[in-house]
Chain A
Amino acid sequence: MIDFLTNLPPVVLGLLKGLAVICVIFPIAGACSMAERKVSAWLQGRYGPNRVIVPWFAWMPFVGRGLQRLGVFNLLADGGKLLFKQDPLPGHVNKFYFMIAPAVAIIPAFTTVVVVPFGAYFDQAGQVVPLMLANVDVGLLAVFAIASLGIYSMILAGWASNSKYSFLGSVRASAQLVSYELSLTLSVLPVFLWVNAPGTVGSLSLARVVEFQSQPGFWGGTWFIFLMPVSAFVFLVALFAETNRLPFDMIESEADLVGGFHTEYGSFKWSLFFVAEYAHMTVGSGVFVLLFFGGWNPLPWLPIGTLFGWLGLVQSAGHVSYAIAIAQGVLSIAIFLAKVLFMIFFFMWVRWTVPRFRYDQVMRIGWRRLLPLALVNVVVYALLIAVIQK
């Protein structure tokens, strides 16, 4: 089985891997919409959706009841509703762009995952092999480049809707994304300055950053959140703005713009925008975890290799055990996903805590607070790193 898989042509193998990743990301993005409802309910002292149940599960003694109270089946009900309800196409829209905008939203959201590693295993030489679709050197640059394409869908949707609310929403969105992209990119510069020591081959690969955080020793095992808290803070705030989450929810701002860019959308096209938003959130949280929270390392100063050693999951020399490799991969993915899910919970937690900023406040925070902070941060760390690394 394994030999058959590894002997497939690279294109087929890549397609299979891509499908596997999409099959994980899409349900996560969908489940996030459910989690959002549950988490918002819990944060407000409510129960949230807890009524829907499928008959076969209702016959199971305790499990069915537990799943029902968790609202798991509401996900199916929501999805079914969005899929089967009438898909309105207003008469005043520009039909072509109106139709393709949701697709334009979802393609970059799922494409970014290609360069994001989500786990690792050790081969028999003791080398870390990251689990990712494409371990390319552009790494993070590709994430930024592709993720920022997502804004085109919002501009398209807002413009093609031919409605003032949608249009204002998309105008705000484009201004906001341009403003915060600068801070986002500047905030990660110190990390890569530190990782790419002089004399080594330069790389923007995210897997490399995680490897750097899993070195032995005090300084090697330190996660970047401790080394560069300001970078992490600026990155996090800019990430909230880039993923259009509250308190930077300018693009939707349902209090003053009805629904922002998706005012005119309904049913499945509308839900595609949401899946795209949650996919952006998932990938953004993933990048944040990789850069600042040690990726798949379980604890600071505890690299995953040590954990594998404790659990006895070590490849013996001269003999390749697929079982051990798969166990290592699954464990590292589980650790990574747990961190990402906590970050998504954090996104929702902040959403129900901080009220939405006014539009001028968003611009002021972006240009007059965050950007200077990111610039000073880069300069200070560049000088420090130059002194330390010579």
Chain B
Amino acid sequence: MSVIQVQRKPLTFAERTYLPQVFGGLMITLRHFFGRRVTLEYPEQRPEIAPGYRGVPTLVKDPNGREKCVSCQLCEFVCPPKAIRITPGEISGDGPSAHVEKAPREFEINMLRCIYCGLCQEVCPEEAIFLQNVYSVSGYSRDELVNDKEKLYQLGGTLPDRHFKWDKKQAAASASPIAHP
């Protein structure tokens, strides 16, 4: 392809005085002076959070109200700043889903370490951890900024679920006499 040489037009006298440009600029700023304000007055007006936003990581429950996390600790291992700490535990024997899977006894995410990378959400095989739309984190002490299990479930709430893995697991367990002594 051939190169097209574009002639640079010499400035006219009016342009060289710079005054028409200044005047045009003044008109532009005046238009903004009377125009719409674009400021979002934050505490009263909140920004709209787009889907896919990576906010504070939270733990979610399935629509039946069961916790989905099985404390496999993949998120703890993958977490680049080592913000997650999981203490695995058993589900107590009298629950409806007892002996089917494990559950975390304690699940802590240190928000002072978290970098909101979303790797925990990506790695989770149970779709139990999600970065949702909470973006404002504050506290008076370092301890306050470590989200424990209760806080994480409170922030996470319930998300729609397509798999109902717990129900399948339980059905399979009750069908097989070996797995459920």
Please tell me if B32 contacts chain A, counting CB pairs below 8 Å: yes
Interface size on B, residues (CB 8 A): 14
Stretch at the interface among A16-24, A41-49, A310-318, A378-386: A41-49
Contact B29 A43 (CB under 8 A): yes
Query: Assuming the A-B contacts A44-B32, A349-B30, are A354 and B39 also in contact, with contact meaning beta carbons closer than 8 angstroms in the complex?
Result: no
Contact A349 B39 (CB under 8 A): no
Bound: A349/B34 CA distance, A: 13
Contact A47 B26 (CB under 8 A): no
Contact A43 B25 (CB under 8 A): no
Contact B33 A354 (CB under 8 A): no
Bound: A353/B22 CA distance, A: 8
The contact of B26 among A42, A45, A349, by CB within 8 Å, is A349
Bound: A45/B35 CA distance, A: 7
Contact B38 A353 (CB under 8 A): no
The contact of B32 among A45, A350, A354, by CB within 8 Å, is A45
Contact A350 B37 (CB under 8 A): no
Please tell me if B143 contacts chain A, counting CB pairs below 8 Å: no
Residue ID in chain A nearest B32 by CB atoms: A45
The contact of A353 among B28, B35, B36, by CB within 8 Å, is B28
Contact B22 A47 (CB under 8 A): no
Q: Which of A322-347 contact B (CB under 8 A)?
A: none
Bound: A42/B32 CA distance, A: 7
Contact B39 A46 (CB under 8 A): yes
Please tell me if A352 contacts chain B, counting CB pairs below 8 Å: yes
How far in angstroms is the closest Cβ of chain A from B28? 7
Please tell me if B41 contacts chain A, counting CB pairs below 8 Å: yes
Q: 19 additional contacts, CB 8 Å, given A45-B37, A349-B33?
A: A39-B33, A42-B33, A43-B30, A43-B33, A45-B32, A45-B36, A45-B38, A45-B39, A46-B37, A46-B38, A46-B39, A47-B37, A47-B41, A349-B29, A349-B30, A352-B29, A353-B25, A353-B28, A354-B22
Bound: A353/B29 CA distance, A: 6
* Contacts from B to A (Cβ < 8 Å): 22, 25-26, 28-30, 32-33, 35-39, 41
Chain A residues within an 8 Å CB radius of B26: 349-350, 353
Chain A residues within an 8 Å CB radius of B37: 45-47
**Minimum-distance CB pairs A-B, first 5:** A353-B25, A353-B29, A45-B38, A43-B29, A46-B39
**Contact sample, A vs B, 25 pairs, CB 8 Å cutoff:** A39-B33, A42-B32, A42-B33, A43-B30, A43-B32, A43-B33, A44-B32, A45-B35, A45-B36, A45-B37, A45-B38, A45-B39, A46-B38, A47-B37, A47-B39, A349-B29, A349-B30, A349-B33, A350-B22, A350-B26, A352-B29, A353-B22, A353-B29, A354-B22, A354-B25
Residue ID in chain B nearest A48 by CB atoms: B39
Bound: A354/B98 CA distance, A: 72
Chain B residues within an 8 Å CB radius of A42: 32-33
Chain A residues within an 8 Å CB radius of B36: 45
Bound: A308/B39 CA distance, A: 45
Residue ID in chain A nearest B28 by CB atoms: A353
How far in angstroms is the closest Cβ of chain A from B20? 13
The proximity string for A residues 347-378 relative to B, scoring 1 for CB distances below 8 Å and 0 otherwise, is: 00110111000000000000000000000000
Chain B residues within an 8 Å CB radius of A43: 29-30, 32-33
Q: Which of A46-90 contact B (CB under 8 A)?
A: 46-47
Chain B residues within an 8 Å CB radius of A47: 37, 39, 41
Bound: A42/B39 CA distance, A: 10
Residue ID in chain A nearest B27 by CB atoms: A353
Bound: A44/B35 CA distance, A: 9
How far in angstroms is the closest Cβ of chain B from A365? 9
How far in angstroms is the closest Cβ of chain A from B13? 13
How far in angstroms is the closest Cβ of chain B from A62? 19
Residue ID in chain A nearest B26 by CB atoms: A353
Chain B residues within an 8 Å CB radius of A39: 33
Bound: A45/B32 CA distance, A: 6
Chain A residues within an 8 Å CB radius of B29: 43, 349, 352-353
